[in-house]
Amino acid sequence: MKNNPKKAAVIGCGFVGAATAFTLMQSKLFSELVLLDANHDKAVGEAEDIGHGIPFAGEMDIYAGDYDDIADCSIIIVTAGANQKPNETRLDLVQKNVAIYKSIIPEIAKRNYEGILLIVSNPVDILTYVAQKLSGLPERRVIGSGTVLDTARLKYALSQHLNVDSRNIHSFIIGEHGDSEIAAWSSTNISGVPLDDFLEMRGHMHPDMDKQEIAEKVKNSAYDIIAKKHATYYGIAMSVRRICECIVRDEKSILPISTVMHGDFGIEDVCLSMPTILSAEGVETHIPIELSEKEHTSLKKSADTLKNIIAGLDL
Ligand code: 6V0
């Protein structure tokens, strides 16, 4: 079905879906936003509540709908599924959420969907792979939010440590959105100045220790927040907004989204995050950023972790 470039949908209206819808309402990227949830009342309630903000943000239509209502969207965002409980890893969610995806993705595919499928539920890399297989959509049109959020967390932590605007920091978390993620330090720079030089300039004389502490803090962010407030949603909502912005405006920005890999960095047939050019058509190409040998080895290990889980799935 021909898609409407100003229409999007959010499937799953829990913490993440509702925060995403609220953020998208304020973004003015879409003129129509459809909310879906297995608990229809929840979708109706969120649409009404968020709709009451429209007079302050600008006109759009936001309503709770069904699968027939979303077949002509340009982006469908899937946040449905169980979230992590304290001490659970993202990978612990796999069986529950693959089962949920088996009830959602075929409903989209059978309506000849022509837009982009943006996967957010965890484990996001596994579910992006599963969504591509279950939908049969072209790989370039099935993407996961991947490490866009982790990269934002990294930039935020670095900006605080260096006392510099996070928008001037060029750095990526790559690999799994999860415990095996990697901070790509060797390509990190602040407006062209290598990170180690900038650290020294700001009076930090132990770069390796700083980097290790910051990478650990970023990796453990979700665990820390979940221990305190049982879910994370604002950061991911802004990450989804940024991804949508890039697609709607055909920006061709470079974002660390999760996509199917085909040989780049020696990684095959698994979804994980690498810096990728994203356009209105979806994935354009991966960017071959420079990695140290250690980073490359960690990336391959991250891919192996994900591949082992995929191998155990019944798809
Ligand atoms: P939540 O608040 O429990 O919401 C989940 C929602 O999904 C509920 O409203 C359910 O009713 C709904 N749902 C369940 N099954 C279906 C179905 N078959 N069809 C439609 N709706 C359904 O969870 P929360 O919103 O906190 O998290 C949602 C997912 O996002 C989890 O898997 C999280 O782990 C994941 N996150 C992903 C992040 C990322 O960076 N990719 C970040 C944060 C959370």
Residue 246 structure tokens? 């890039």
The residues pairing with 190 across neighbouring beta strands, listed in sequence order, are 169, 193
Whether the Cβ atoms of residue 255 and residue 173 lie closer than 8 Å to each other: no
Asked whether the beta carbons of 42 and 13 are under 8 A apart, the reply is yes
Distance 9 CA to ligand 1 centre (A): 14
Mutation pick for ligand 1 pocket among 44, 79, 225 (CB with most ligand atoms within 8 Å): 79
For residue 123, cis peptide bond before it (omega within 30 degrees of 0)? yes
Ligand 1, residue 124: give the atom nearest the CA. 41
**Protein residue with its CA nearest to atom 18 in ligand 1:** 100
| Model pLDDT, residue 87 | 86
Residue type, 282: G
Give the helix/strand (H/E) hosting 43.
Answer: helix 40-51
Measured distance CA(138)–CA(131) in Å, rounded: 11
Residue 121 CA to ligand 1 center (angstroms) comes to 6
Amino acid 315: pLDDT: 86
- What's the pLDDT score for residue 279? 98
- The C-alpha angle with vertex 146 and arms to 171 and 18, in degrees rounded to 5, equals 115
**Which are the catalytic amino acids?**
177
Ligand 1: distance of its center to the CA of 186 in Å?
34
Residue pLDDT tens, the chain, 315 long: 789 999 999 999 999 999 999 999 999 999 999 999 999 999 999 999 999 999 999 999 999 999 999 999 999 999 999 998 888 888 899 999 999 999 999 999 999 999 999 999 999 999 999 999 999 999 999 999 999 999 999 999 999 999 999 999 999 999 999 999 999 999 999 999 999 999 999 999 999 999 999 999 999 999 999 999 999 999 999 999 999 999 999 999 999 999 999 999 999 999 999 999 999 999 999 999 999 999 999 999 999 999 999 999 988
